[in-house]
Structure 1
Amino acid sequence: MRLHRNLVFGVVDGLQMIFNEGIYASKAVEQILKRDKRWGSRDRGFIAETVYDIVRWKRLYSEIAEVKEPFSRANFFRLFAVWAVLRGISLPDWKQLEDTPTRRIKGRFDELSKIRIYRESIPDWLDEIGVTSMGENKWNKEIHALNQLAPVVLRTNILKTSVPYLKKRLYDEGIDADTVKGYPHALQLKERANVFATEAFKEGLFEVQDASSQLVSPFLDVSPGQRVVDACAGAGGKSLHLAALMENKGQLIALDIYANKLHELKRRAKRNGAHNLETRLIDSTKVIKKLHNKADRVLIDAPCTGLGVLKRNPDTKWKLSPEFLEKITQTQKELLRDYSKMVKDGGKMVYATCSILPQENSKQVEGFLKSEEGKTFSLVKEQHIFAHSSGYDGFYMALLQKTEVPKETSKEK
């Protein structure tokens, strides 16, 4: 493989944005790829995949390269050199890459790969929490699985099409995809491709959504005609799935504290043909209070550490901290207690996260059920999804039901 200077410089610039400027990896890569319209799909793929690889293995590579944060531009070239050598790529005769100790890199890799914090490239504190929360054996399997590249999975928009038709449409546009057993609306790409450029996407026939994430909306057990609230809708991947499951009948209310995310959801809903969906910005406590005891179903897809989606967001490892974990678990507790008040008697609620830690998942539900707000709820079922057993993102879902309060009959005097 021959390295091209402008592509390697693009990778280094991306790493600078992520590690020194605090920009999310997805946004940094998006900005870099807009720089040169002459770059083809292979060039763009090289930049994106190399940036993500170096971000994913930052701790291992920086230990091998003997560089420490804050990284200088020379340090980023050293990290790139480690990446290239470990893949058997010949380094060009550039001054930025001169004196790269090829043999020492391979030797250090073999040596450090025996130690989990380097082998899986994770912070000490995260490794300690993983072992404490999940046990040595399960944590070993899970963190290894979360360091693998995520597959591209699509969710068929059943408001507009069927899985067989979508599969054919994609094939006609040069994209080969397979159905996924156990995921009725999913198609998994055989090779990575820019699906957003397809006519099928522009027509709203699918959304990109991991297979594990596709299990959350059906878990809520919605029916056409119900009033359903997606309490932490964000840009609305699960809201759109709910709209499809409701067959566009009933009322679907998407709530969020960020107006820009709801604006994006409106745009996506129009493309998807989701007509029963309305967005409401949570700009005061009144928004929630107006819905107290009004919803048949409530989805709380809670903000979390995102540890279950490290496959696609490897920079999360480096942005998280023990303090953030403590803060987010408190937020989750408050959301459960506040948003559960929207569920009507006999209604159901799903609490979900894209985390694998019990303190964000089952322990939150246990705490809620013991609280004043949770005493009228019971746990119907829960599902723990781990990357090492599913091959997809790590997720947690709990279905809770609110007790039907019998109406008091008037006593004869």
Structure 2
Amino acid sequence: MNILQDLEFRGLLNQVTDREGLEKELESGKVKLYCGFDPTADSLHIGNLLPILTLRRFQEAGHQPYALVGGGTGLIGDPSGRQTERTLNEAEIVVQWTEKIKSQLSRLLDFEREGNPANTVNNYDWLSELTMIEFLRDVGKNFSINYMLAKDSVDSRLEGGISFTEFSYMILQSYDFLNLFQKEDIKLQIGGSDQWGNITAGMELIRRSGEEEKAFGLTIPLITKADGTKFGKTASGTIWLDAEKTTPYEFYQFWVNAADADVINWLKYFTFLSKDQIADLEKSMAEAPEKREAQKALGREVTTLVHGEKAYLQAVKITEALFSGNLSDLTANEIEQGFKDVPSFSVENQADMNIVDLLVEAKISPSKRQAREDVTNGAVSVNGDKVQDLSYTIDAKDRIENRFVILRRGKKKYTLIRY
């Protein structure tokens, strides 16, 4: 199947301008395409992953992807998909975020690929050189107010109000497309379904600028979860692509805990597994859902893609250690990932402490009497090993890399002791 048929099979083809013409263009040779990513935070999140991987699918099919980092438009704010005005960030912050996002993109697209290497561009490079008079005369004159008001990104904001700054965003993004079309021969822009108005406005600007060649637009559906909750959000917050903001273990857990109703679609969206491989996993899920083979495959593929095989294997190791209770084999780094959200208690100067005293001081047991009962009843474990000796001392032998001890009371109440 060709690239558009593959996108269709995966449910990734939402809207496309002149599909027949685009297919002919794609079949005739290498096509350059781009997608924009505004630096609205210091990291991309998994909501951005779908367009990035779509760029990569085009690259795998022999075409050349460009990832545009919106150092210029990030200073303005995209009204698409929002009901309120964005808070404008300082220019220095946007520059820092732009560099971080470029670094993340470089791990997900192949910039060394022979024949069709990926590229990054920053629209600040050309938008910052555009004077107000040039913008109004050469660009703005091509857009009527009525045309802009008809776009969903603007129309949805009229009742609550929209500033001239965000109102002009569509024209700036259109100018990006024109600039890349003219200087880089980029003929296709892709984006989420909320970008349809901005993309088609760019195509209109290219047409009005007298270009003889045709430009194309394609959008990807916005992902929703089967239970109606927002994709990419958990109780602990957004799932980021930055390992410092969302650890590889947390990232892996998000995917491996996918609901049965979501997992097959997510395998299509976020992995490069073939149609036959996905069909086999769907069959496995129907026959033995308790094995969660589809979820494990999803966690493996996406975590390896974003963080690498080493981080994936580490995430699996942490998962298995937590399930089995065998925690002593974990490194300090793995403990920090796996126990990031559990209660913790700090002990200064690496002091040795009696098990009962520590249970009380760390507020794991409410009193010494209860702590003694917990220990003698076998309800307390140290690094996964049950302790029933009331005179047991937590000391150097228990400290993992001299930094952590993991106490558990009952089946699930963990506390991380930090040194």
Using the size of structure 1 for normalisation, the TM-score is 0.27
The higher radius of gyration belongs to 2
Using the size of structure 2 for normalisation, the TM-score is 0.26
